[in-house]
Amino acid sequence: MKFDTVVLGAGIVGVCIAAHLQKRGRQVALVDRKLPGNETSFGNAGLIQREGVYPYAFPRGLGTLLRYARNQSPDVRYHADAILKTAPFLWQYWRNSHPTRHAAIAKSYATLIEHCVSEHRALAAEAGASALLRPIGWMKVFRTAAAHDAETRLAERWHREYEVEFEALDAARLQQLEPDLDRTLLGGLRYPDSDSVSDPNALVTAYARYFEALGGRFFIGDADTLRDGWQVDTEAGTISASSAVVALGPWSERASTRLGYRLPLAVKRGYHMHYAPQGTARLNHPVLDAEGGYLLAPMARGIRLTTGAEIADLEAPKTPTQLAAVEPVARTLFPLGKRLDDEPWMGRRPCTADMLPIIGPAKKHPGLWFAFGHAHHGLTLGPITGRLLAEMMTGEATLVDPRPFSVERFARHG
């Protein structure tokens, strides 16, 4: 079967690329070993983070580092063997998180973030999926004045530098917006310009159906069979295409390494569990317990608790100790009832050492393109990534300058 482009990976990133290419007249095959949106894009917290102009940095304060080293922190845990293997990545990540370097990275990152909500809304409208987006923002809540003050200073900075809107919430306003949250909270911050998703898997599925309605074809197949040319084996036979896109999220390192690229990539794993609310309790917004290191999001299935980062091998068995640690705290924040899932879900955030995704041509191979490394913001950045890469591949003027996201920035890595 012949196509113009084969897109490998049907997470939020691959699906958005496929839809944007098909819309521009390319004949596209989208290939995944599972149905669309069933890995990392399935289980995230559902935030489309318009405020996320600064990507999540590696903490540099000694106190925080010592706390993390003890491996008891609710927000960050690690497998000891993975720390050794990821040490070179972590070292680069730490260096890139220096405030000066982080601020420079944010300047590039913000050019993508700026379009995250508008591009989701446009794609969702075309896909008939607007009802899955909630235009109500999300919030952080605080138990101590120190955390409240520090986060408020950050929000003020993002507003000053990037006009990110925020609403400071005192305890009374917080109770008005979220009457069922713990009454002892000091207050919070709301980011009103962010959207959230009530079912991330349903959103990716809707975007994939839109791609198919435009004439695109989805195939179950194995990206490991990709060979120069470009060819890939699927259940329906071999696909040939003049261009190929690697959008395999956390599995992109395996594919790019096999093709001869050595890139500073790693994964930060995370878990979720759904809960029934007790009685008539209701959660209106996604809520981050900033000091507790977890987030509660109202989802179609129930209240989804998502955890922070776990540094571990991609395929190492699940170790949901963070979930076990934060669940009792979450129960004091909001009246959570029984667990609704048989076991915790686990996903892997695909991270680069400089916190910027890789979007653009793989220079050593004509016709090969990369789109991965969206870390904590893959759901947020899927549609703008899809648009940007499709514009580059079809030679259109691009909405965003693609240069900061080029794989060439890692050229010394091979």
Ligand X SMILES: Cc1cc2nc3c(=O)[nH]c(=O)nc-3n(C[C@H](O)[C@H](O)[C@H](O)COP(=O)(O)OP(=O)(O)OC[C@H]3O[C@@H](n4cnc5c(N)ncnc54)[C@H](O)[C@@H]3O)c2cc1C
Interface residues with ligand X (CB under 6 A) are: 9-14, 32-34, 38-41, 44-47, 49, 222-224, 247-251, 270, 272, 306, 347, 349-350, 372, 374-380
**From the CB of 136, what's the least distance to ligand X, in Å?**
14
Stated as kind and residue range, the H or E segment containing 37 is none
**From the CB of 16, what's the least distance to ligand X, in Å?**
8
Helix (H, G, I), strand (E, B) or coil at 348: strand
**From the CB of 87, what's the least distance to ligand X, in Å?**
22
Peptide bond into 230 cis (omega under 30): yes
Please give the Cα distance from 279 to 302 (Å, whole number). 13
Task: Choose between 51 and 151: whose C-beta lies nearer to ligand X.
Answer: 51
Bridge partners, residue 288, by sequence: 140, 295
| Integer CA distances (angstroms), 346 to 42, 168, 257, 275, 301, in order | 10, 33, 24, 16, 16
Sequence-separated (6 or more) residues with CB below 8 Å from residue 328 = none
Beta-strand pair 133-134/138-142: unpaired
Task: Choose between 251 and 405: whose C-beta lies nearer to ligand X.
Answer: 251
Stated as kind and residue range, the H or E segment containing 206 is helix 200-213
Task: Choose between 11 and 293: whose C-beta lies nearer to ligand X.
Answer: 11
**From the CB of 84, what's the least distance to ligand X, in Å?**
23
| Integer CA distances (angstroms), 166 to 32, 105, 187, in order | 39, 22, 13
| Integer CA distances (angstroms), 199 to 1, 41, 44, 57, 170, in order | 33, 10, 9, 27, 30
**From the CB of 266, what's the least distance to ligand X, in Å?**
13
Place of tokens 């559902």: 46
Task: Choose between 41 and 97: whose C-beta lies nearer to ligand X.
Answer: 41
Task: Choose between 181 and 326: whose C-beta lies nearer to ligand X.
Answer: 326
**From the CB of 396, what's the least distance to ligand X, in Å?**
22
Task: Choose between 42 and 58: whose C-beta lies nearer to ligand X.
Answer: 42
**From the CB of 137, what's the least distance to ligand X, in Å?**
13
Task: Choose between 154 and 171: whose C-beta lies nearer to ligand X.
Answer: 154
Cβ-contact 312, 78 below 8 angstroms: yes
**From the CB of 93, what's the least distance to ligand X, in Å?**
16
Task: Choose between 181 and 245: whose C-beta lies nearer to ligand X.
Answer: 245
Stated as kind and residue range, the H or E segment containing 369 is strand 368-372
**From the CB of 100, what's the least distance to ligand X, in Å?**
26
Please give the Cα distance from 189 to 216 (Å, whole number). 42
Task: Choose between 170 and 235: whose C-beta lies nearer to ligand X.
Answer: 235
Burial grade of 117 (CB within 10 A; 0-12, 13-18, 19 or more): buried
